[in-house]
Chains A and B, each alone.
Chain A
Amino acid sequence: MTLRTDEPRDEFPGGRPTPSPIPRPPGEEEELRRLWRLPQGIARVTAVNNSQVGVWYIGTALLFFLISGVLALAIRLQLAVPGNDLLDHGTYNQFFTVHGTGMMFLFAVPIVEAIGVFLLPSMLAARDLPFPRLSAFAFWAYFFGGIFFFCSLIFDAAPDGGWFMYPPLTSYEHSPGINTDFWLLGIGFIEISAIAGAIEIVIGILRTRPPGMTLDKLPIYAWSMLVMAGMIIFAFPAVIVATALLEIERAFHWPFFIAERGGDPLLWQHLFWFFGHPEVYIIFLPAAGLVSMMVPTLARRPLVGHDWVVLALVGTGFFSFGLWVHHMFATGIPSLSLSFFSAASMAVAVPSGIQVFAWIATLGAGRVQWTVATHFLFGFLFIFVLGGLTGVMVAVVPFDWQAHDSYFVVAHLHYVLIGGMVFPVFAGLYHWWPTLNGRLLSERLGRWAFWLMFIGFNVAFFPMHISGLLGMPRRVYTYPGDLGWNLLNMISTVGSFVLALGVLLVLIDIARSTFGGGQKAPDNPWNAGTLEWLPNELYATRSIPHVTGLYPLWEQPDLPREVREGAHYLPGAPTGRRETIVTSPIEAKPQYLMPLPGPHWGPFLAGLFTAVHFMCLTVQWYYPSLVPAVLAIAMVIWWLWGLDTGADHPPQDVGGGWRVPVYIQGPKNHSWWGMVVLLLVDGTAFACLIFTYLFLWTVSPDVWPAGGGGLPGLPWLAGGLALWGLSALAIGWARRAVDRNRHGHVRIGLILAWAAMVVGILLDANAQIGTGLVAAASAYGAIASMLVAWQAFHVAVMTLMLGYTLARSAAGLLHAERRVTFDNTLLMGWYSAAQGSIALLLLHLFPRLAI
């Protein structure tokens, strides 16, 4: 419950009293510095501050960009002249696969999340994101996983099936060895890190905004990150499911994609592109958000059509999910289906166009500052608009049939991705660099870098439109010299090296600044209007401002001074630890004071052990892989154990008349929100499995049991449903026991729920096996077994969660006033029971009812 000491003062501009009285007591700021300081020496890896993890994250993404870029240069050298033997076809395949995979999975998505981790808290004036240790774990998992992935090149074991990994090219028959496994296991696990980041970002944006920052005053960048994170939540499970299915097919020969046994290679394409096309917008929207923040600053006026741009971001997020089949126009899908996707592909150009017009109108109406960032923004507009136009071209089905798998598409995708994402990110680097180390990057070097990149990019990629229209296919490692492609390829190769030289200049500039070179920046060098330009240190801003508009620094000129003096919210650390204010998601009113965890070895070690676990799986050390898996879980439990602290302090005054609790339970708690978002991810993955089941049935109904023959009897269904229902009821009963602090009943309820789940899954599996079901025999056997296995995985997760909750109960750390852990277990338990019931109904009833 939120208590108020007096009538809250909701508005503070115009000389009215600020939320906290000044001058502040002595020692308050030093206390903040002490609490938020970084560990030193080797212990620096235990840091969880978003400002530190964000920098590591950005640096690692740039490193992987560099490695992937070097591979691109090797590819261009190989294609510079016909009949070249610089790279053999096997090495070439590995290079272009790792280049594409590295750029998409290890650079593009991570860097937009990294920038979010770094920038969002300061843009929202929060002290940190809500789950700092989860952020740190996501980073370390990505770091170790990425290094491991690129190392596969050294051992000639890199994946070679293209970044899209289409079966049957990647099946166990056509791609033996471990190359493909590196992709499937390596990338699959790194995507889990992306999902962790997305959960963090969603809850950070919705719950840690400063008081007064109502939903309509949310900065555009935060909107774009919110949409991006939402898209990750609904898109990435599809690729995780796809990689799991393909890896299982490779390891155990379950035929999800093998047509001879009822599978279908097109299933991969559906799942992959259901992720893969939104992925383009997952990359583009945050970049567009950065642009929408930079353009008003550089044009010195508010963004034209702010609300329309927000609508466009949300609309793009939705429409982009309706495009996945436009990568499959040449696969023989019914013409009416093609038309739906063609229409959606064209429709998505409208919201993108709204944003472009808003940027041009703002720049046109303002007085533009010509910084390096401005150059990159104009370069972005030119290149992205060209990429968008060719995008509309390939959305037209007959044109796509002509240009499909040609270099025209290579040109289009690079125009969209480099234009739409790399140029804005480089603009952002120059623009926000002062918030990172207090120095400006060089304007002179930056302009050289821009022109080299802009000219190099167009020289490299524009000719590919023509070579594509002349018939040059993509993914070929060489070509004969009499097809008219020679000059175009040579020009592209020269352009690619000019582009690389520009990138190199940027990296030199960054290195120079990192080691202390360059000019010191004033607090707000570009005279921006948003909160990230408030004076801040490791603890973020000295006090959390009260926001009254979209551009607080323009509308409240005294705000930086007031914030620095501690005149706004939470000017100190009232409970003597790291904390930030949690506000309501729509009105941004203070709800409670969230304790934030500090440095810990757990995230670093858990990331390392998780990577080692997947590395062991890749090289087929199945039993040894259990050791790092157990260690990784132990590390997570270690860092979690101390977090659910209960209401260990009385409500605190955070300023402005708001006295808020330091602990809150139920649906207002940020951890509860995290669990709900995780369940959305989980539910999406389950929906992908149901889609798989139905899709395989539509293509191969002949391998399905007919009319109930070959299916377990209906009593098995009733028994299974009863057990899942019992588990849900038992957890619900335990919840009521927690309310009354009846600890014995709590433990009985939890154990009963666990027992019901274990017996339930054993019964389900036994019923299926009893019918003679063989997973490797047919697509039906494979997907039916997969659904049971998926549920068994959830029972395993529940075993851990229930065991953890029981342990906390036994240790006296669970009671009516301290129950966030229990509430999370409850949510997962109910979800698992519901999912188990749906899976049972599908497995038992669908074959009986289907035509």
Chain B
Amino acid sequence: MSGRSFPVTFGAMLAPFLIWAGHFGLVYAINGAVCARSPEGAMLFGYPLSVALVAAATVLAMAWVAVLLVMALRGSGPAGHVASADPRRFARWFVVAGAGSALVAILWVGLPALLVPACG
């Protein structure tokens, strides 16, 4: 069995955290930019623009991590194909545990959008 590419395997292991980081950067950028530059009182789907965009980003990020979680639980995805048994099991466990953590973290960071005024 041939060895798996390091960037692919390591990237897969870090993917849940990378999605968390991307989500975090995005929600901060959305909030910062909207509060600084959008017209006063801009709304989207009946919610303040910033809140609506942050909520959408949170749902998307959580869905993406959930897909990774399901793939890892099924033993598929990039982390499922490294050469020897131990690293493969470890990589898969890492993706599952990381995805669980990232789901909680994304939700935790995204929740304020529902509770706090956007640009107060």
Which of B17, B37, B98, B112 is in CB contact (< 8 Å) with A336? B112
Verify if B82 is at the interface (C-beta below 8 Å from A): yes
Q: State the Cβ distance, B91 to closest chain A Cβ, in Å.
A: 7
A311 in contact with B98 (CB, 8 Å): yes
B3 in contact with A339 (CB, 8 Å): no
Verify if A331 is at the interface (C-beta below 8 Å from B): no
B interface residue count range (under 10 / 10 to 19 / 20 to 34 / 35 or more): 35 or more
Which of B4, B31, B111 is in CB contact (< 8 Å) with A334? B31
Verify if A675 is at the interface (C-beta below 8 Å from B): no
Q: State the Cβ distance, A174 to closest chain B Cβ, in Å.
A: 27
B87 in contact with A336 (CB, 8 Å): no
Stretch at the interface among B19-27, B59-67, B68-76: B19-27
Verify if A151 is at the interface (C-beta below 8 Å from B): no
B108 in contact with A347 (CB, 8 Å): yes
Q: State the Cβ distance, B15 to closest chain A Cβ, in Å.
A: 11
Within 8 A of A (CB), among B55-111: 82-84, 86-87, 89-91, 93-94, 97-98, 101, 104-105, 108-109, 111
Verify if A217 is at the interface (C-beta below 8 Å from B): yes
A334 in contact with B84 (CB, 8 Å): no
* A314 CB contacts on chain B under 8 angstroms: 14, 17, 98
Verify if A563 is at the interface (C-beta below 8 Å from B): no
Q: For B111, give the chain A residue with the smallest CB separation.
A: A343
Which of B3, B28, B89, B115 is in CB contact (< 8 Å) with A337? B28
A343 in contact with B37 (CB, 8 Å): no
Within 8 A of B (CB), among A579-613: 584-587, 589
Q: State the Cβ distance, B71 to closest chain A Cβ, in Å.
A: 18
Q: For A591, give the chain B residue with the smallest CB separation.
A: B3
| CA–CA, A216 and B118, complex, Å | 43
B27 in contact with A340 (CB, 8 Å): yes
Within 8 A of B (CB), among A339-392: 339-344, 346-347, 350-351
Q: For A351, give the chain B residue with the smallest CB separation.
A: B101
Q: State the Cβ distance, A743 to closest chain B Cβ, in Å.
A: 32
B32 in contact with A589 (CB, 8 Å): no
A216 in contact with B36 (CB, 8 Å): no
* B91 CB contacts on chain A under 8 angstroms: 215-216
Verify if B6 is at the interface (C-beta below 8 Å from A): yes
Complex interface bits, B1-42 against A, C-beta within 8 A gives 1, otherwise 0: 001101001100010011011001001100111011100000
Verify if A156 is at the interface (C-beta below 8 Å from B): no
Q: State the Cβ distance, A212 to closest chain B Cβ, in Å.
A: 10
Q: For B83, give the chain A residue with the smallest CB separation.
A: A587
| CA–CA, A308 and B94, complex, Å | 9
Q: State the Cβ distance, A513 to closest chain B Cβ, in Å.
A: 39
* A340 CB contacts on chain B under 8 angstroms: 24, 27-28, 31, 109, 112
A322 in contact with B3 (CB, 8 Å): no
Which of A214, A322, A336 is in CB contact (< 8 Å) with B119? A336
| CA–CA, A851 and B36, complex, Å | 12
Verify if B46 is at the interface (C-beta below 8 Å from A): no
A587 in contact with B37 (CB, 8 Å): no
| CA–CA, A350 and B120, complex, Å | 29
* A22 CB contacts on chain B under 8 angstroms: none
Given A334-B119, A340-B31, A701-B37: A347 touches B97 (CB 8 Å cut-off): no
| CA–CA, A587 and B4, complex, Å | 9
B113 in contact with A589 (CB, 8 Å): no
Q: For A230, give the chain B residue with the smallest CB separation.
A: B14
Given A214-B87, A318-B21, A337-B31: A699 touches B36 (CB 8 Å cut-off): yes
Q: State the Cβ distance, A42 to closest chain B Cβ, in Å.
A: 43
Q: State the Cβ distance, B94 to closest chain A Cβ, in Å.
A: 6
A698 in contact with B36 (CB, 8 Å): yes
Verify if A411 is at the interface (C-beta below 8 Å from B): no
A586 in contact with B87 (CB, 8 Å): yes
Q: For A308, give the chain B residue with the smallest CB separation.
A: B97
* A699 CB contacts on chain B under 8 angstroms: 36
Which of A307, A334, A344, A701 is in CB contact (< 8 Å) with B120? A334
| CA–CA, A541 and B41, complex, Å | 68
| CA–CA, A698 and B120, complex, Å | 17
| CA–CA, A214 and B88, complex, Å | 10
Given A335-B117, A336-B31, A698-B32: A214 touches B6 (CB 8 Å cut-off): no
* A315 CB contacts on chain B under 8 angstroms: 17, 98, 101
A585 in contact with B109 (CB, 8 Å): no
Verify if A750 is at the interface (C-beta below 8 Å from B): no
Q: State the Cβ distance, B4 to closest chain A Cβ, in Å.
A: 6
| CA–CA, A698 and B36, complex, Å | 6
A336 in contact with B117 (CB, 8 Å): yes
* B89 CB contacts on chain A under 8 angstroms: 216
* B113 CB contacts on chain A under 8 angstroms: 336
Which of B31, B90, B98, B112 is in CB contact (< 8 Å) with A215? B90
A216 in contact with B87 (CB, 8 Å): yes
7 additional A-B pairs beyond A216-B91, A335-B117, A336-B116, beta carbons within 8 Å, are A310-B94, A314-B98, A315-B17, A319-B105, A321-B21, A334-B35, A344-B105
A residues near B (Cβ < 8 Å) are 206, 214-217, 307-308, 310-311, 314-315, 318-319, 321-322, 325, 334-337, 339-344, 346-347, 350-351, 584-587, 589, 698-699, 701, 851
The 3 lowest CB-CB distance pairs between A and B, nearest first, are A339-B112, A216-B90, A698-B36
A–B complex contacts, Cβ < 8 Å, 27 sampled: A206-B6, A215-B90, A216-B91, A307-B90, A311-B98, A315-B17, A318-B18, A319-B105, A321-B21, A322-B109, A334-B35, A334-B120, A335-B120, A336-B50, A336-B113, A336-B118, A340-B24, A340-B28, A340-B112, A343-B112, A584-B3, A584-B6, A586-B3, A586-B87, A587-B83, A589-B3, A701-B37
